[in-house]
Amino acid sequence: METSECRGCNKCHTVKPITEFYQATKYRFDYKCKTCRKKLRKKWYYDKKANNPEYFLGVFEKRKVKYAKIKKMVFELLGDKCVFCSDKHVPALTIDHPNKDGAKSRRNGERTERLCEAIIKNPALKSEYQLLCIKCNWLRRTDTDEEIITRYGTKK
């Protein structure tokens, strides 16, 4: 074999034929032989899995966990209960625009996840939003705030 067909591995320090190396780019081969590269991949995989069990969760699951934490922080900032009926059941709570311009905001690209992050970064924004349970949010579509207040008492 000619020297151009052989290459030295930087990991095991042995000279092997060029076919024992992965092609990194069109003109260049990897610096580690296939055997050493496979060992490194296995080591990396088991190190990651052993040290961080959440590492291999899917992208959506990671985002879901992150969003739940952010949403909990925002709910705490906004009072943790419905402003009309004082319902504290978290799955039933929603973030609402007091001036009923939520559809306009959504058309402009505002999404709940980004909205929550913005409220956490700038707590002054919390005056622009309120927490409503699903029932009060639905009633608010047809009734005025005064009609809802007469049903449940004063707005908290």
Q: Is the dihedral angle over the CA atoms 112, 115, 120, 124 positive or is it negative?
A: negative
Identify the CATH number of the domain in which residue 50 sits: 3.30.60
Q: Cα angle vertex 20, ends 16, 24, to 5°?
A: 115
80 φ/ψ angles, rounded to the nearest 5 degrees: 60, 15
Listed in sequence order, the residues at least 6 apart from 146 whose beta carbon sits closer than 8 Å to its beta carbon are none
Whether residues 85 and 31 share a domain: the answer is: no
- Predicted local confidence at residue 21, as pLDDT: 92
Residue 81, domain member (yes or no): yes
Whether residues 44 and 107 share a domain: the answer is: no
Range of the domain at 72: 66-152
- Predicted local confidence at residue 2, as pLDDT: 45
Q: What kind and span of H or E run contains 62?
A: helix 59-77
Whether residues 30 and 82 share a domain: the answer is: no
Average pLDDT of the residues in 139-152: 71
Residues in the chain: 156
Q: How many domains does the chain contain in total?
A: 2
Whether residues 143 and 79 share a domain: the answer is: yes
Whether residues 145 and 76 share a domain: the answer is: yes
Residue 61, domain member (yes or no): no
Do 21 and 33 contact (CB within 8 A), yes or no? Answer: yes
Q: What kind and span of H or E run contains 131?
A: strand 130-133
Whether residues 119 and 82 share a domain: the answer is: yes
Whether residues 51 and 76 share a domain: the answer is: no
Whether residues 45 and 97 share a domain: the answer is: no
Give the HSE-up count for residue 48: Cα atoms under 13 Å, Cβ half-sphere.
10
- Per-residue model confidence as pLDDT tens digits over 9-50: 999 999 999 999 998 888 889 989 999 999 998 888 777 776
Whether residues 82 and 132 share a domain: the answer is: yes
**pTM, rounded to two decimals:** 0.54
